[in-house]
Amino acid sequence: MPKSIIPLLAERLDISEEQVQPLLSTMVEELRQRAESDGVQLSGLGTFREEDGTLAFRPAPTLRRRVNRPYEGLSAESLSPATEREASPAQGTPEKATNSEPSSAPAADPEAPSTQDRSPARPDANDRSVDSFVLISLILAGLFLLGAGWFVINQTNLWGPTQDAAPPTATETPPDQAESPSTTGSASDPPPDAPPSADTEASDTRDWTIVVASSSSRGSAQEAADTYGSQFDSVAVVSGTVDDATWYRVTIGRYPSESAAERVLDERTEALPPDAWTHQLE
């Protein structure tokens, strides 16, 4: 259910709703008139234009970025067969992934039917081929190993002690600092105007960064990070959960504020990809 803008404007402007209505009507009338002629652009919002007798609106990049904060820095990627295989467990169907756990309980004891009488509840069990159990078991084992691997990696992070207490629904984990030193090491002589490194600052306050690439595959993200590692001295791969799928962002630098990150984004335009975005780490 959409909210009316009138009370919101009244609150923002600190005037009554009765005062807002004529002001808003005047603005809307003016806006529609201009949209009919050349179109009208509102900075930070977008452009209104009359098209085929209908008022059309094209959102400004600022607005598009604002509504896509949770997904910022993510871009479409080509799926090679290898990438697809790697991406599919995290990417494919999260509902199925979660649902497989409860269903795995009966599936995890395939020997049980031969030793225990559970026939009323398991009439279909015998119909399943052995292959499906093996497949499910392998998938579960793989997921377990992946989880265990993540746990180990996170435990070895420099950030681990302060951040690894995030709840299971946490949308982002800190940069993999265990890998960034190698990247940093490869860039022992970074350009003099490279973004400042976070090493010397309190990382708690430097939670803004610049995202230069993203991938659903950690390997692909690391490859991109290695590429940028020769140009910048603070490159990291940050994993984040978006719509129950894991994405890996390649980040450069750590900054205390969004404006500081955007300043570097503007200053280093030639060295950064055109779709580089500022991003706040969680």
Phi, psi of 168 (to 5 degrees): -60, -25
Residue from the set 37, 38, 52, 76 that interacts with another protein by CB under 8 A? 76
User: Quick check: 59 binds another protein (CB under 8 A)?
Assistant: yes
Binding positions for another protein, 214-253, rule CB under 8 A: 214, 216, 242-243, 245, 247
Q: What length does the chain have?
A: 282
Contact pattern from residue 18 through residue 37 relative to another protein, giving x for each residue in contact according to CB under 8 A and a dash for the rest: -x---xxx-xxx-xx-----
User: Quick check: 79 binds another protein (CB under 8 A)?
Assistant: yes
Minimum distance, C-beta of residue 67 to another protein, in the bound complex (Å): 4
Residue number, 94 or 190, with CB nearest to another protein: 94
Which residues, 6 or more positions from 179, have their beta carbon under 8 angstroms from its beta carbon?
222, 225, 236, 237
Residue number, 187 or 221, with CB nearest to another protein: 221
User: Quick check: 134 binds another protein (CB under 8 A)?
Assistant: no
Long-range contacts (CB closer than 8 Å, 24 or more residues apart) made by 69-75: 69/280, 70/171, 70/242, 71/242, 72/211, 72/277, 72/278, 72/279, 73/211, 73/214, 73/249, 73/251, 73/276, 73/277, 73/279, 74/214, 74/242, 74/247, 74/249, 75/213, 75/214, 75/275
Residue from the set 33, 69, 181, 205 that interacts with another protein by CB under 8 A? 69
Helices (DSSP H) in 129-217: which residue ranges?
130-156, 160-163, 180-186
Residue from the set 18, 37, 67, 189 that interacts with another protein by CB under 8 A? 67
Q: Which residues bind another protein (CB under 8 A)?
A: 1-6, 8-9, 12-15, 19, 23-25, 27-29, 31-32, 42-46, 54-57, 59, 62-64, 66-71, 74-79, 84, 87, 91, 214, 216, 242-243, 245, 247
